[in-house]
Structure 1
Amino acid sequence: MWFMNKKTLSAEQATALNDQGWAAFREQDLDTAQECFENLAKACPDDPRWMNGVGAVSLARDDRADAHRHFQRAADRDYPGSHYNLGIMAYQDGHHDVARRHFQRAAEHDYPGSHYNLGSMAFQEGDHDAARQYFQKAAEYDCARSHFYLGSMAYQDGDHDTAVEHLNDAVRHDHPEALNLLGDVHLHAERYPQAEQAYRRAAELGNVDGYNNLGLLYLQLEDYQQAKQALLQALESDHVYAQHNLAVAYHRLGELEAAERWYLISFSLHGNLQSLENLGHVYGDAGREVEGQALVAASDKLYEDQPLDDYEQALIDRLLA
């Protein structure tokens, strides 16, 4: 670094040194990042950027006390990035009021992420009006997570056009949850090709509901082979409803042995009473009417928290053995 021996730096040189430190930090080269920020400190001791940088390095090294100390020094000089970092630390420690104060101060400087975090906190606290205002501000900076929340809130309010608008903005950033919810919106409007495309892309990006919802879409369209394939992929993500829905696909395909197996797995693993009832119908379809009727009756009683008779209880005990 050609300017390291200088006691003072120009504004451009100081910025370049700070940028070099953050470039090293992003590459996880913490020693080089530390050196850059310390050299900036020597030349510009009152520059809050080195304090924030050293705080970030310390936090990456799990030295939270040193990180907090340096972030606080920068925040005392009203450096927005350190207000944001202190907000993150306070939130992680459960000090939400402190976190909110730091995020609000960072938001006054339009620091990226601060409006989203304030919106997220307000949303979790049930203050949806405040959340919407913060998310709308963050959306002005094309924050994908804020677009998703705004789309979700609009969908819940029944404003599907606004929901699609915001969700499409989030989808531009390959936001998996936004893609999955966009699939729900299209499905509600019976735009099946668009729903299929959204669910599939959500699944490809790792959304746990993507393949399950894709399977449900195919079930609704009575394309049971494609439903089966999608739900087999949902099983790989251990989706809680994948076993039941896969059993439905096998049931509708007339593959009763496979349907029986997956309904039983769904009931035994998750206590899914719909799976128990459907298993009774499989038994009926297979000519085991007495057992089938008993399972349907047992599922109804369990729904209503009523006691089972001896035969029903013995039948369920045998299934779960």
Structure 2
Amino acid sequence: MKLSVPFATALTACALMIGCAQQGPEPDQDPSTSDSAPDEANTSEGRPSDAKAPAEVAHTRPFSRDTLYALLAAEIAGSRQQFDIALSNYIQQAHETRDPQVAARATHIARFLSAENAVLDAALLWVEVAPEDTEAQLNAALALVRTGRLQEAFELSRRLQEKGEHTLFQNIAASAADSTDTQREQLIDGYRALLERYPEHKELLVGTGLLMQQQGDLEPALTYAERALTHHPDDAAATILKATLLNQMDRSDEALQAIVSALEENPESIRLRLQYARLLTQHDLALAQEQFEVLVQQEPNDPDLRLSLGIVALERGDSDTARENFEALLDRGEHMSTANYYLGQLAETQGRDEEALLYYLQVEPGSDFLQATLNILDIFLERGEIEAANDHMNRLRTRFPDRAADLYLLQARTLMQHGHDQAAEHTLGIALESHPTHSDLRYTRGMLYAEQGRVEAMERDLRELLKYDPQNANALNALGYTLADQTNRYEEALDLIEQALAIEPEEPAILDSMGWVLYKMGRLEEALPYLEEAMAAYPDQEIAAHLGEVLWKLGERERARDVWQQGLDNDPQSELIPATKERLQVTE
């Protein structure tokens, strides 16, 4: 039987453990202690090495027969690819024996399987039973970083720093983007305190800069990046931080120059060139493509670089380069859904609809799936093939039943956009039979009814929605606005819109509705500030039409004309603003 890696070598280690444990400790040894041989940390990337078996070290601490067989069973299970059994046994025995080597082995297996919760459990146990073990501390710190427990990870890194070992300060800071401002401030305080003792420490300087960048304190962050470069002028992380900050501060020329200068000193640096290429995508796509081409030459087997090159080339209109790289990804079996999506997009823009459909149909659930599905629907509906569109969506719902509601919603909205209101209503009706409390489905049908002027049907759907989703601000606002705009039930409309505004006080659409219902009630002076706030936040044609009408009625004729013109500038195809002016008998 062929044993798997890393379990093949581990089976031998387990046999040694069993043999030595059965012999018992030597007379001059303390049976309560056992040596450990930690794996060497990968200090170049700031993370422990890949999961592997601990070194074969004979135990001097006797294990029970049950423990020995549990560990042997774990190794055999691993050799047979039954990794869940192997991990479960090792985690259980690590807690029962509290043996450092068993805890280490459990940590390595869990990391090999990317079982993050198990990694954290085993690593914390490991550092608990071997508190001075450097590798235990490093593994525990990394596990804490990956699970968002950054303050604890910082404390372990601080202990590593005090021993002169490798730290994870930069990793911790980079992982703090999703933390709260208060949590980041606590970390910043800790970093600054350590910098008083280690003022030239690269990871502390870069980490502090990253944390301040996340806080929005760009100038102080830049100071820390420059301090890091003063002491470590060739450090790529500090250079990248400096360039990113300069770009955020609208000093793009300086940002690009910082990267260019660093690349001149270290032209083989993948990290620096990648950052240079990314910055160029915001300023010069042609140069960005050149840099990605260099990166692909340097790392021809890196699928992420090839994907980036394909996307930049597609954006530039270089279809040959884009197709070449996306097809290369398909040949290698990498980023297949994304490559199929972009190849479909490329074929569609070139009028090859059948080819585009073949590519889109191969996009699996993920970031591009819904857009690919939408593109398939667009192709079918633009060709008038409604039945083909329906058949495709039915197949998808059979294949992905857990996404049926979202697929119904996408289908209905696309049908509405293509003017197939009757088919959209039919689709929504079927969808609501199986998903009667799905808010988006019911809201969409309500809006379809509103567009058709079917106020009673719209009200019926939205009031049903509000029974099971009473805090739905969109439904409250839509119902309130429709009652204000198409009936004289103004008090009822005002109550609904006030509820919506209490939930979403800064939403421009709700502010517009509030202004409009107050205008309908004759309270023009009260309506004006709501409409002005809505217009400042989102100057679309409908808000412009409403604000202009209120200003006109208040006698502010020039301001009204200016607002209407602003709305037309933003939406030259507006029909609402000319209709409003005609109704008010406005002459130019």
Same fold (TM over 0.5): yes
Task: Tell me the equivalent position of 1:310.
Answer: 426
- List per-residue Cα deviations over 1:254-307 (Å, max 9, x = no partner): 54344213324447433654433322343367x4544689888734869xxx99
Please say if 1:131 is aligned against 2:227: no
The superposition leaves residues 48-95 of structure 1 with CA deviations (integer Å, 9 ceiling, x where unpaired) of xxxxxxx9x931355889xx99x86994xxx8x46x849689989x98
Q: Of 188, 199, 219, which residue of structure 1 is paired with 2:292?
A: 199
CA distance in 1, matches of 2:241, 2:322: 29
Name which of 356, 371, 375 aligns with 1:259. 356
Cα distance in 2 for partners of 1:105, 1:281 equals: 61
Determine if the alignment matches structure 1 residue 163 to structure 2 residue 238.
Answer: no
Cα distance in 1 for partners of 2:291, 2:424 equals 44
1:96 pairs with one of 175, 187, 192: 187
Q: Is 1:210 matched with 2:305?
A: yes
CA contact (8 A) 1:72 1:86 kept: no
User: Is the Cα–Cα contact under 8 Å of residues 139 and 146 in structure 1 kept in the other structure?
Assistant: yes
Match in the other structure for 2:314: 219
Task: Note closer, same or farther for the CA distance 1:222–1:297 as it changes in structure 2 (3 Å cut).
Answer: farther
Shift of 1:182: 2.4
1:71-150 superposed matches below 5 A: 75=162, 81=164, 85=167, 96=187, 99-101=190-192, 103-108=194-199, 110-140=200-230, 141=232, 142-150=234-242
Instruction: Check 1:268–1:244 CA distance in 2 against 1; reply closer, same or farther (3 A cut).
Output: same
State the Cα distance separating 1:200 from its structure 2 match.
2.8
Contact kept in structure 2, 1:200 and 1:214, CA below 8 Å: yes
Query: TM-score w.r.t. structure 2 length?
Result: 0.34
User: Which residue of the partner structure matches residue 186 of structure 1?
Assistant: 280
* Alpha carbons of structure 1 residues 176 and 292: separation in structure 2 relative to 1, 3 Å: farther
Contact 1:247–1:258 (CA<8 Å) still a contact in 2? Answer: yes
1:170-191 alpha-carbon deviations (Å, 9 max, x no partner): 5436554543442244344446
| In structure 2, distance between residues paired with 1:270 and 1:313 | 28
Cα offset for 1:161?
Answer: 1.0
| Residues 214 and 227 in structure 1, CA contact (< 8 A), matched pair in contact too | yes
Residues 99/242 of structure 1: CA separation in 2 closer, same or farther (3 Å cut): farther
- CA gap 1:121/1:265 in 2 versus in 1, 3 angstroms: same
Over 3 Å counting, the alpha-carbon distance change for 1:253 and 1:133 in structure 2 is: same
CA distance in 1, matches of 2:160, 2:313: 58
SS in structure 2 at match of 1:158: coil
Question: Is the deviation greater in 167-176 or in 123-132?
Answer: 167-176
In structure 2, do the counterparts of structure 1 residues 147 and 240 end up closer, same or farther at CA, with 3 Å as the change threshold? farther
CA distance in 2, matches of 1:225, 1:73: 51
Task: Report the CA distance shift for 1:255/1:201 in structure 2 as closer, same or farther (over 3 A).
Answer: same
Is this contact kept in 2: 1:87–1:99, CA < 8 A? Answer: no
Q: Name the amino acid aligned to 1:244.
A: Y
Bigger radius of gyration: 2
2:135 paired residue number: 60
Q: 1:280 to 1:157 in 2, by over 3 A?
A: farther
How many percent of aligned residue pairs carry the same amino acid?
16
Instruction: Tell me, yes or no, if the aligned pair for 1:100 and 1:118 is still in contact at 8 Å.
Output: yes
Displacement of 1:134 after TM fit? 0.6
Determine if contact 2:326/2:339 at 8 Å carries over to the other structure: yes
Q: Residues 209-233 of structure 1, C-alpha deviation per residue, up to 9 Å, x if partnerless?
A: 5323322232234332321222234
Q: Which amino acid is 1:179 matched to? A: R
Match of 2:306, SS? Answer: helix
1:45 matched residue in structure 2: none
1:46 corresponding residue in structure 2: none
Distance in structure 1 (CA, Å) of the matches to 2:350 and 2:161: 65
Counterpart amino acid of residue 105 in structure 1:
E
The 3 A distance-change label for structure 1 pair 177 and 311 is farther
* Offset at residue 136 of structure 1 (A): 1.3
Checking the alignment, whether the CA contact within 8 Å between 2:192 and 2:208 is kept in structure 1 is no
- Measured in 1, the distance between the counterparts of 2:411 and 2:41 equals 61
> Which residue identity does 2:260 align to in structure 1?
N
How far apart are residue 118 of structure 1 and its match?
A: 1.7
Q: Aligned in 2, Cα 1:300/1:310: closer, same or farther, shift over 3 Å?
A: closer
User: What number of residue pairs does the alignment pair up?
Assistant: 255
The answer for the alignment partner of 2:377 in structure 1 is: 280
Select the residue among 142, 151, 159 that pairs with 2:243.
Answer: 151
5+ residue gaps in structure 2? 1-39, 44-48, 50-54, 56-129, 141-154, 176-182, 391-409, 432-588
Structure 1 length normalisation: TM-score?
0.57
User: Is 1:246 aligned to residue 343 of structure 2?
Assistant: yes
Question: What letter corresponds to residue 163 of structure 1 in structure 2?
Answer: A
Q: How has the CA–CA distance of structure 1 residues 282 and 207 changed in structure 2, closer, same or farther, with 3 Å as cutoff?
A: same
**Whose RCO is larger (CA < 8 A, sep 6+)?**
1
Could you say which residue in structure 2 is the equivalent of 1:8?
none
CA RMSD of aligned residues (A): 5.0
- How many angstroms apart in 2 are the aligned matches of 1:227 and 1:244? 12
Give the CA deviation at 1:98: 7.2
Contact 1:263/1:276, CA 8 A, preserved across alignment: yes
Gaps of 5+ in 1: 1-23, 32-54, 316-321
How far 1:123 moved relative to its partner?
2.5
Alignment check: 8 A CA contact 2:278 2:288 kept: yes
Residue 164 (structure 1) shift: 0.8
Mapped to 2, the partners of 1:291 and 1:215 lie a distance apart of 34
